[in-house]
Structure 1
Amino acid sequence: MSVTPCGKLLLIGGKENKEDGGNEEMREKNNNFRPGEILKLLAGSKDDRIEVITTASAEPDSLQKTYTEAFEKIGYSNFGFLDICDEQLHTDYQIKRASAAKTIFFAGGDQNRICDVLKQSALKYILKEKYINEKDFTLAGTSAGAMCIPDIVILEANNGEAILEHDIKLDSGWGFIGNCIVDTHFVHRGRFGRLAHAVILNQDCWGLGLGEDTALLIEEGSIATCKGSGMTWLLNAEEIGQTNSKTVKKGEPVFAENLKVHILTDNCKINLRKGIFTGASYS
């Protein structure tokens, strides 16, 4: 996008602490653990309308129950759920609800399903208008919902011991941010290799590897702040040296020299346009 968006993006790595149970060890050891912190970033006011898009999920009813409990615990009072499927792409009811929302939140599941549906929908164009023009609008996604937000999305990839040629499938995403490729559950599921492969193939893109219960809040289209208890890894292949990525044969391993890595934790910032990193300060 050539203009600076007025709205915000919230990219979440998954497992955004929807439930307190099972986090006792994290609570004891990690000073950055604050229950519900990520979900509290969805809206500026607890009365602001949040629409949760559950299209990516194979179990939308279960997802709705989980988020209802989490939102009510936070104190959100104005939220709803939309399960947009092929035959409902242009219904006035859904368009009106999306148009009136302060936050659109894409839940996780299968990025293939959600990408295909939204690419065909008038909803994408409405959301882009809101993102560009509305200062208090937030477009959020978790897991698969976050992966689809940039220009390029990882649809399939292997997590093997080596990066192998032809073991990754990329496609066009929704295009809300142009110079990034997002991967989620990044640390827990060992996805460094597949995101590295994606940026080696697209050297003008940042690879954003989002840990669980961790998010990047992106303002002004490029100012990204890490939030949450985990890490965001940023991979950059812009100054890559030797690599066989353009000549390697199918099934053979890819190598690369000078792939750069940054690690962000809570309140670290990076300007994705200028590449300027600002570490967090702790008193």
Structure 2
Amino acid sequence: MIPQGKLLLIGGKENKEDENKEMERENKNFCPNEILKLLTDSKEDRIEVITTASSDPDSIQSMYTDAFNKIGYSNYDFLDICDEQIHTDYQTKRISAAKTIFFAGGDQNRICDVLKQSALQYLIKEKYNNEKGFTLAGTSAGAMCIPDVVILEAVNGEAMLQNDIKLDAGWGFINNCIVDTHFIHRARFGRLAHAVILNQNCWGIGLGEDTALLIEEGNIGTCKGSGMAWLINAKNIGQTNIKTVKKGCPVFAENLKVHILTDNCKINLRKGVFIGQSDNNTIAEES
């Protein structure tokens, strides 16, 4: 089944406050609030922002209110979902009426279990699968929880060490990906590579800040924004000690495959086909 909706996976710091003036001067691909403008096709469409991942939902609400008002969005609100509220009719009605569900950032440990296997998760999945024009978006921790597998904790060390990464089941909106965010700024290549070596059927999607991967038809990803999206794949890995390495010892791996996408580059996640900016007109033939 081809999903009718879209996924918008955001690497964090999607230029909410027009604060990066140096990037604006130097990077020709920089466009203020470009990522947030992808949340919906119409400024009148309903957007529900889920702030559960944050320990300070009021500040998240204030920040996005300012950004959305600058863009011209006129129909949005905020939900802070916790365990005891998860099956309320009030929240179900709001989720049902939304054209976009946007999970804000924070701590993926805080948000992942609250939605996992819940009535709201099933409702959102039904909308994603069947509702044309629906968008499920997440930034930072909100993006990391969207696939089948989520990185809950990991060490950013000088080596990938056995037992220094904790993975868990995510929400399952896409089944062949693991997402990491703030990827360049926080030097997370090692931990995402470790995750895909452990899950060799998955693409590792490393998203830079003010950068997103827009996924349509369930597997066609388009990079958006001023930074980079890194795609790491271990499907054809060669030599590795991942199954025999002892606790505290480094992991090695041969023949990892890496793509780097910038604005408007595409990737077919099912076939592994990379489409550069000059070849974007061929994506339909590859899907």
Letter in 2 for 1:13: G
Alignment of 1:115-154 (within 5 A): 115-154=112-151
Which residue of 158, 163, 181 maps to 2:160?
163
SS of the counterpart of 2:177? Answer: strand
Which residue of 11, 14, 17 maps to 1:16?
14
State how many pairs are aligned: 279
Partner of 2:202: 205
Alignment of 1:59-74 (within 5 A): 59-74=56-71
Alignment of 1:1-80 (within 5 A): 3-21=1-19, 23-80=20-77
Runs (4+) off by over 2 Å: none
Partner of 1:91: 88
Aligned-pair CA distance for 1:28? 0.9
Between the aligned partners of 2:118 and 2:258, the Cα distance in structure 1 is: 36
Which residue of 273, 277, 280 maps to 1:280?
277
Unaligned runs of 5+ in 1: none
Letter in 2 for 1:114: I
The CA deviation string for residues 13-35 of structure 1, in whole angstroms up to 9 with x for no partner, is 000000012x1110111000000
Aligned-pair CA distance for 1:120? 4.6
Aligned-pair CA distance for 1:281? 2.9
Which residue of 203, 218, 240 maps to 2:237?
240
With the length of structure 1 as denominator, give the TM-score of the two structures. 0.98
The CA deviation string for residues 109-139 of structure 1, in whole angstroms up to 9 with x for no partner, is 0101100100152100000100000011000
Letter in 1 for 2:7: L
Between the aligned partners of 1:198 and 1:234, the Cα distance in structure 2 is: 12
SS of the counterpart of 2:278? Answer: coil
Identical columns (%): 81
Between the aligned partners of 1:218 and 1:43, the Cα distance in structure 2 is: 14
Between the aligned partners of 1:61 and 1:28, the Cα distance in structure 2 is: 32
With the length of structure 2 as denominator, give the TM-score of the two structures. 0.96
SS of the counterpart of 1:208? Answer: strand
CA RMSD of aligned residues (A): 0.8
Is the Cα contact below 8 Å between 1:89 and 1:120 reproduced in 2?
Answer: no
The yes-or-no answer on 1:225 pairing with 2:222 is: yes
The yes-or-no answer on 1:111 pairing with 2:108 is: yes
Partner of 1:181: 178
Between the aligned partners of 1:24 and 1:65, the Cα distance in structure 2 is: 22
Between the aligned partners of 1:147 and 1:24, the Cα distance in structure 2 is: 27
Which residue of 249, 257, 264 maps to 2:261?
264
The CA deviation string for residues 96-115 of structure 1, in whole angstroms up to 9 with x for no partner, is 00000000000000101100
SS of the counterpart of 1:17? Answer: coil
The CA deviation string for residues 40-90 of structure 1, in whole angstroms up to 9 with x for no partner, is 000000000000000000000000000000000000000000000011010
